[in-house]
Structure 1
Amino acid sequence: MSEPLTGLLDPTRILFDLQRGNEIAQRFSGCLEPEEIARQLTNGLVETFGCAFARLWLLESDQSALRLVASSGMYTNTDGFFSRVPMGAYKVGKIAQNRVSFLSNDLPAEPWVGNREWAIANGIRGFAGYPLTAQDRVIGVLATFSRTPLAPEFLEILQTLCTITAISLATALRYQQEKQCWQASPKVAFSALSLSDQLAGVLHSARLTLVGTEQPLPVPLAYLFLHTASILHSIQCTYCRLIYKESMVCLEAIVPTFALTEQSPESWIKAIFRDIRLTVATHGGELQTQASGDRQAMQVILKLPYWLAEPIGFVEIQCRAIALQFAFTQLANLAGLQVWYGNSNAEIPLITDDETCLTANRRVLWVHQKHQPLPKGIKAKVDLSTPPEALQEAYLAIKANKPWGIETRSNEPQVLSDRELEILTLLTQGLRDRDIADRLIISESTVKFHMNNVLSKLKARTRYQAIHLALVNGWI
């Protein structure tokens, strides 16, 4: 090499490049699509650091070759000569095989370069190739090409980015493998490992403590914890606690912030977890962050509710908006319903807001939205205000081919459900909503939900009118 790649590092330049590297990492934080993670990294290196082009290969499942999944800059195609590189072949294959990075600031002079004329004609001088390793195994290779010499500060940041990317890719690849398993057969557990074991694998540099008795969680919740752990590891989390409570599971973490100079800890941590907050909210959870008294660390707390009731049956969910899909997936879990991830099955009730999913004789729980007419043939409707206990009742009703939650279209009062009559009877005994909830072992919001249905069905303005109509008709 004509120019050394080592030397004294400029601390100001390091801090500046560290911030830019962090911005690239934020692009794919929480992402579970390996190809998208790769594209965000290569795009970021070209756009942010001015690389001529950047490429990323992933090791194929049989570990015999590397597959090009992302290419940015001068070349954006992924189906050319280097689209598949055998392990140990060319420089890329050797980097993967030997797990040794290679750096050069005089690429045309390197003896392994097959086309020196190409490098000279395009003014390519710098090259950096890094193996992407996670948990002592190679999962891919990153290569960057530059028209200017690669600065030692950039190489420091690039190495850090490779570590973060490798962890994100490992999590995403594991998710995709497990996803194929539970989509093929919903009865198969998504992993033989407990959540604490999987978290320990992701947070291998941090100390993890388990508090409480570990319980199996629905697949979406478990992977949300793994997403969060991947992000925490990328920002050098030092300590974590996984806490199981009666109806809540929490992940508490401590992240150091003493290296921050141009950004407050609050805004820094908020930006890092920005993309995951919506997913947490749609699962009924909460993500809290708080700075320590000396502002040298941040506490991150992820809380997600769960319910351990035995599943009462399968339900398929097909919503057009991802937020609705997430919300009703969690609602179904809380209602004791097991979400079906296999091929569409006409025997399994369907929760949907998509008319293209409706077929003859399919039992459907329609996701109703304001000012939208009900499709023809719908016998039951739910919305985001439906509590888990009510969703369970609606599910059992349509399984028995009975209507649920549909307002009467005639002038005759609609017959009330057994639960609605039960609540009305307790009201006549002078019980309050809270007392009724305790008596029936349901939530207070569910009591209010049923009473709103009663008022709507009976076209009554008050509870007193509803009780009067029920007494007159001999229902209670």
Structure 2
Amino acid sequence: MLLDSTRLLFDLQQVNQIVESFASCLAPEAIAQKATAGLVEKFGCAFARIWIVEPDRQSLRMIASAGLYPRTDGSFARVPMGAFKIGKIAQNCIPFLSNRLAEETWVKDREWAIAKGICGFAGYPLVINGRVIGVLAAFSYQPMPAEFIEVLQLLCTPIAVALENALLYQREKQNWQSLSHSSTPLSQSPLSEQLANLLQDARFILMGTEQQLTPAIAYLLLQVAERLRTLGCAYCRLTYAVDETVSLEAVIPRSPHNSACPAQPIASVFEEFAFAFTCLGGMLQIRKGERPGVTELFLKTPNRSPSSQSAVGVCCQSPLLQIALTQMAYLAGLTVCPDLDASIPLLTDQPARATSHPAAIWIATGTQPTPPNVKARVDLSISPEQLQAAVEAVSQGETWGVDADHSDKQFLSGREQEILMLLAQGLRDRDIANKLYISERTVKFHINNLITKLNANTRVQALHEAIRQGWVASA
């Protein structure tokens, strides 16, 4: 049991070190190369590779390879969507692990696998908001343990977030450069005039008094308008509201190439902007219009600093945790502020910051006690909705999860409470693992945490303490 827990913690440390290596990279290729090199160095892989899905989503392009084959221009430089195992992982979004590579029917060259002594293969999709943006694959000389898929899951989440942000930054940089060479620079004409010029074939309306927008918002609105122009936008209205928000509404008629189902293809055109506007505290919606054959776009974003009730700071010791919680905040509809303003709630796992910040939300990642003076306490099982509730409570001067009558049960994560209930039902570790779709080693890891948090020496004592407290019913 201790060996399993020790190994899991060691793997987490190795993953964290890989994430640290690419945390400051802005180029997708650099991020992918650091990640693949880390898998070779930290986990002894023979070689590792990363492909990203091309914009047309018809194929994947290899952007990094480390280990035995460091080049990216070989026969698998481009893989059609759905072809070979890489294309199937991207198409179906299903992780895969095999320790009999030479016997797999999909392997293009079995003799190569035998000659090189490659027996292990693991592939994992890189996913953002349910959309596959790439695939990571690792090959090994030795059989891979089943738990290696979980290691890849821990690694692929921050890789996907970093790649998505880097690709967005890359596109924005290219578009900014093209705008800087245009005859009408962004800063020299009102946004309404630039939008009207882009949408010359559409009926354009300006509502409200035009305001000076932040460069990021103005730029994104122009990029949305450019996409609207290519889709034959028929109507567009730009509105400046009294609450300092700006909105853009557009009507897109059905085109011949998407007459069967116009809303879905059009929605995919604006996917990258939806994430960007969420980061800015706004929203972007694509919906079916009231009239047949019409799709409507609605975009709204605040043109001001976010209020404390919709903003949060994130400051973690681990880059892996920093990326994961930043993404969680975006999913919760919160704006992540780079400046650690004392008036804005701060998510942190650093005791000194948690104690000194007047609106700290403590991130519990182990058995470390909750620092004094924190306003809320969360753990890694928290959902986006719960995080939003915690931030709103702290913003209003209330506490969340650290009330005076706070019981030890609240210090257990959701997963730990699930396992506790299953233990009370008499299930073995293997049965719990099968029921929760996790590995047996992960079950043992959570049970060790339960034993520690309940001040017990064995799982039997921990279960007895849970029954004594009335958390689970005795048989």
TM tier relative to shorter chain: 0.3 to 0.5
> Normalising by structure 2, what TM-score?
0.45
Task: Name the larger-Rg structure.
Answer: 1
